[in-house]
Amino acid sequence: ESRECRICQEEDSVNNLESPCACSGSLNYAHRKCVQFWCNEKGNTTCEICHEPYQSGYTALSPPSAFDETTINIGGLWHITGNPSEHELIEAHYDVENSCGKVLFRTALLVLMGLLLLRHALALTDGEADSSSIIFSMFWVRILGFLLPCCILIWAVTFRRRRRE
């Protein structure tokens, strides 16, 4: 019969696996060398799952002292070298891109709102097409509904081109 080691997750014969703690089910079996390696890594011999100490003489190495480790200070200020003009150019480029995105988003939003308003205006007059004044006014609403979004898009494109130059 074969089982899976809960640490390395390799299948092996039950004869080569141990039950190091009070865990049961699929977490019951582990290789002795895997459990010992894990004890050395974490610095104690207590199971994190069942909170029972490991049986069968597992030992844990003491955690390394603070003097043995090399520390790297990453909390300091980071500075990218270069000419100040390069930094200003990069920051200006990001500002232009950000503002162009906002302008295009707002323009698209205005166009969609205008089209939605036009749709509602046309839906209100479907049943009352008898009056000549309604037909005349709807003619102008349709023309404005087409020309206004076109003008807004042309304005946005020219604005974006001017900002790039």
Q: What is the pLDDT of residues 92-126, one digit of tens each?
A: 555 555 566 777 777 777 877 777 777 776 665 55
Tell me how far CA of residue 85 lies from CA of 65, 81, 88, 154, in angstroms: 47, 12, 5, 33
User: Three-class SS of residue 3?
Assistant: strand
Neighbours of 96 (CB within 10 A): 13
86-90, 100-104, 152-156: lowest mean pLDDT where?
A: 86-90
